């Protein structure tokens, strides 16, 4: 990619920019933030690590959204983080206003870009960006399942002692307490994970995966996770930048897959240079279908709130 813009120069945005620069996934990174001087400071700080990490990606920052012009990809990390005890849905009212403003800037300054949404609640806000822009789902999608799957893989590695490099996991559904980890599709170097972990321990890992973000938030106290989310974003960008056609769980608009329309949910997707090239439909068993339906209901409840929030704003 030639240019990637990151909206929000907070911890997730800054860490994402650092990883993208180190891995040289583009020639230019632009950081946009409404806080005066902050994006410039973040860009300068990261660029001064170039001699150590040996990259020549250029970084810049601005309070002017015009900095996003010409972007191949815009990554939206801006928004109010949740506090301990809050769910991701609890920040919807505040963050939808930010997302709407950012989306208007995108349409004005980067009308041909692809958009990767990270801000929470990511399923609902991805839907909002797609609804507001009218752009195809190949160009508007969200990051959640890659992070959730990496958390599950880390927990399995911790439980079994096996290398995390050999563990493959997948998580479907909304990015929240109703997410659907899929142990039936989890393997350790091709061997089903159930060969190594008894059912009760696997159930505990599933529940810990659902609460993975809350666990970190409770431990950090003054910050939600940012290292793993940024790494997840970088993995998705790498798949697109190198046209790898990787199968990754992404927040995608559903157009009949899994029997759903008019919703954005975490599902397996093929990522290539065009963005989402394909949504992959898995064969779900009875329990998985029920769990997925519960997750759909939770996301639809938040999408239903969007109309109420718009009326309140009016």
Q: Supply the DSSP string of 46-89, one letter for each residue.
A: HHTTHHHHT---EEEEESSGGGGTT-SEEEE--SPPP-TT--GG
CB-CB contact of 72 with 113 (8 Å): yes
How is residue 220 written in tokens?
Answer: 């950090």
* 105 counts as catalytic: no
CB-CB contact of 141 with 249 (8 Å): no
d(CA 222, CA 201): 30
d(CA 145, CA 222): 24
d(CA 266, CA 248): 10
How is residue 236 written in tokens?
Answer: 């998705």
Quick one: which of 7, 11, 9 has its CA closest to 227? Answer: 11
Q: Catalytic residue among 105, 109, 175, 242, which?
A: 175
Catalytic residues: 175
């Amino acid at each position: 990619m030639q240019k990637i813009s990151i909206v929000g120069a907070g911890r997730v945005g800054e860490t994402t920019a650092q990883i993208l620069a180190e891995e040289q996934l583009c020639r230019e990174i632009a950081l946009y933030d409404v806080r005066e001087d902050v994006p410039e400071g973040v860009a300068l700080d990261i660029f001064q690590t170039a001699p150590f990490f040996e990259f020549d990606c250029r970084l810049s920052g601005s309070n002017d959204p015009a900095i996003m012009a010409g972007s191949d990809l815009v990554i939206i990390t801006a928004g109010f983080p949740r506090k301990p005890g809050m769910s991701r849905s609890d920040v919807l009212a505040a963050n939808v206003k930010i997302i709407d403003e950012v989306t208007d800037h995108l349409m004005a300054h980067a009308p041909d870009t692809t958009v990767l949404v990270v801000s929470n609640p990511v399923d609902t806000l991805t839907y909002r960006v797609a609804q507001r822009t009218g752009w195809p789902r190949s160009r508007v999608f969200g990051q959640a399942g890659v992070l959730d799957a990496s958390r599950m893989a880390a927990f399995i590695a911790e439980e079994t002692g096996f290398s995390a490099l050999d563990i493959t996991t997948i998580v479907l559904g909304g990015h929240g307490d109703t997410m659907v980890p899929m142990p039936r599709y989890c393997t350790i170097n091709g061997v089903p994970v159930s060969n190594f972990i008894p059912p009760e321990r696997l159930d505990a890992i599933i529940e810990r995966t659902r609460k993975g973000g809350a666990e970190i938030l409770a431990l950090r106290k003054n910050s939600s996770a940012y290292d793993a989310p940024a790494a997840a974003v970088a993995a998705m960008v790498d798949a697109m930048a190198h046209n790898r056609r990787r199968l990754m769980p992404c927040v995608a608009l559903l157009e009949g897959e899994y029997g759903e329309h008019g919703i954005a949910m975490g599902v397996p997707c093929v990522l290539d240079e065009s963005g989402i090239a394909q949504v992959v439909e898995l064969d779900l068993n009875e329990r998985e279908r029920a769990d997925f339906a519960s997750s759909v209901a939770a996301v639809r409840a938040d999408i239903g709130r969007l109309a109420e929030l718009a009326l309140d704003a009016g």
